[in-house]
Structure 1
Amino acid sequence: MKKKIAFITGATSGIGKATAEALAPHYNLILCGRREERLTELANTLDTDTYPLLFDVRELEKVEQCIHSLPEEWKAIDLLINNAGNAHGLDLIHQGSILDFDAMIDINVKGLLYVSRTIVPMMVERKTGHIINISSIAGKEVYPNGGVYCASKHAVTALSDGLRMELNPFNIKVSNVCPGAVDTEFSAVRFKGDMERASKVYEGYEPLYAKDIADIIAFMVLRPEHVNISDITILPKAQGSATIFNKK
């Protein structure tokens, strides 16, 4: 194993999968996800050494168990990409589902914390590393019917800023990535499998694609050691803000 090691959560689809593909020429990859078949398929298609880890970021004991069970040669993690996340529902807060609220907070915030709390001490000990947290334009703005999702992604942005300050003495970079509208499984999950409703989110304009974000992440991690792109927002050309789109 001569390459550095990257650890990617939510690697089985969307931005996580595209990021794994973009980083494969440069990193050996620890691929994390909840869907075993997809995880195995991805690991088998990448032209680099891979180590699949099957767990749900919401389950602290499982997170700790899987990460601590890594073979010694895989524990020197150079890059952590906290990508696992979701949106559930598009409701007014006072009418929303508590189960949806829990899912967004548990995955987007607590999951990121669980993984970071387990891996970051290893980076601190080695005094090197790079953490990239995937937030959202919703981590910069708030829109009606998405208040809890926006709150969870604002938390990701705040945690990125806090980590950057706290880890500065340990030579560890921290970056926050805020995509706008990206055509992935995001809307299908938000609308609980209603594909007709999900497809309308991207009608009338060309959204971003997972590869667009992955290419930018690859650019960020391949900068010289003294360079840290600490915060970046990426929108499709047709998007002016979280809720403003130039649709045909």
Structure 2
Amino acid sequence: MEILSNYFHDNICHKKIVITGGTTGIGKAIADLLVSLGGRVLIFGRDESAFYTAMDDIKAKSSKGEIFGETADITKKEDIERIWERVDKVLGGVDILINNAALPAGGIMEGNYEDWKYVLETNILGYIAFAKEAVNRMKEQQSGHIVNIGSMSAEVKEKTGVIYVASKTAIRGFSTALRKEINPLGIKVSHVEPGAVTSDMQPEPKEVQKEKIKEMEMLEAEDIAMSVLFCLCQPKRCDIVSMQVRPHLQII
């Protein structure tokens, strides 16, 4: 095999990449990494402050790739259409879609119908809608890669996160079925399920999360970014279909 750094670079450089929820956490870490390897990346998120902070930080870290984006809400049809219009205009299509935008949610005794509806529209319908738009473009070029970020919650099924578990279990099934549908079109589908990852979605304070990282009970967002990169850089003949990434001492 050629020099590993060149191998990763050649598989990402100049690729047209869309990352949903790319302004914070795992999505931001993936954007950082892929831009550093020369990717042309478009990100978006709901929060304007987080968006501008992410854009400035990514631009400051690397000049190898390009970063584009704007604020948008993945549950709004008009925002979805606006993002894809921007994708077509500034990227000229899409080679890689990272479906990552998601919200936390608790048990059935928490929240109400409108809360659950918004979470499920974000965590499930958002993935489906963006995959559909990506496939419409990828099928013309007979190539592409969709990476759906799931969660080990689909395996653990913790009682404290019933609504979130429902959404991530749905993404597990969606990823499996989607691959069967679109692989004949030359489009890959990978499903990555992280265990505990430090983020704003975690209930513990940042200080507690940092301690858990030291104790190897929690992952950094960059760990998942590296896992996604591994999926993206396989030879055309090789699909990483499903990947589970857990902290060394998180017992599941």
Cα distance in structure 1, aligned partners of 2:138 and 2:88: 16
Task: Tell me the distance in 2 between the aligned counterparts of 1:95 and 1:32.
Answer: 28
CA contact (8 A) 2:87 2:93 kept: no
Equivalence for 1:210 = 221
Distance, in Å, in 2 between the alignment partners of 1:16 and 1:169 is 28
Matches within 5 A, 1:31-180: 31-34=43-46, 35=48, 36-45=51-60, 46-47=62-63, 48-72=65-89, 74-88=91-105, 90-91=106-107, 93-180=108-195
What residue is the counterpart of 1:233 in the other structure?
244
How high is the TM-score relative to the length of structure 2?
Answer: 0.84
Instruction: Give the match's secondary structure for 1:70.
Output: helix
Provide the C-alpha distance between the structure 2 equivalents of 1:146 and 1:202, rounded to a whole number of angstroms: 22
Q: What's the offset of the Cα at 1:67?
A: 0.6
Partner residue, 1:8: 19
- CA positional deviation for 1:39: 4.3
Give the aligned residue type for 2:40: N
What is the CA-CA distance between 1:185 and the residue it aligns to? Answer: 1.3
Count how many residue pairs are aligned between Structure 1 and Structure 2.
Answer: 231
Q: Aligned partners of 1:99, 1:145: CA distance in 2, in Å?
A: 19
Change (3 A) 1:214 1:127: same
Over 4 Å off, 4+ runs: 198-204
Write the deviation string for residues 24-79 of structure 1: whole angstroms up to 9, x where unpaired: 21421112222342343245234212221321111112111221243456132110
Q: CA RMSD in A?
A: 2.1
- What amino acid does structure 2 have at the position aligned with 1:66? I
How far apart, in 2, do the equivalents of 1:222 and 1:185 lie?
Answer: 29
Alpha-carbon displacement from aligned partner over 1:130-158 (angstroms, at most 9, x marks no partner):
00000000122311121111010011111
Residue 174 of structure 1, CA deviation: 0.1
* Alpha carbons of structure 1 residues 71 and 231: separation in structure 2 relative to 1, 3 Å: closer
- CA shift, 1:202, in A, is 6.8
CA distance in 1, matches of 2:77, 2:54: 20
Check 1:42–1:102 CA distance in 2 against 1; reply closer, same or farther (3 A cut).
farther
Distance 1:212 1:174 in 2: 20
Helix, strand or coil at the partner of 2:159: coil
> Pick from 214, 222, 228: which aligns with 2:233?
222
- In structure 2, relative to structure 1, the CA distance for the partners of 1:222 and 1:181 (3 Å cut) is same
- TM-score for both structures, normalised by structure 1: 0.85
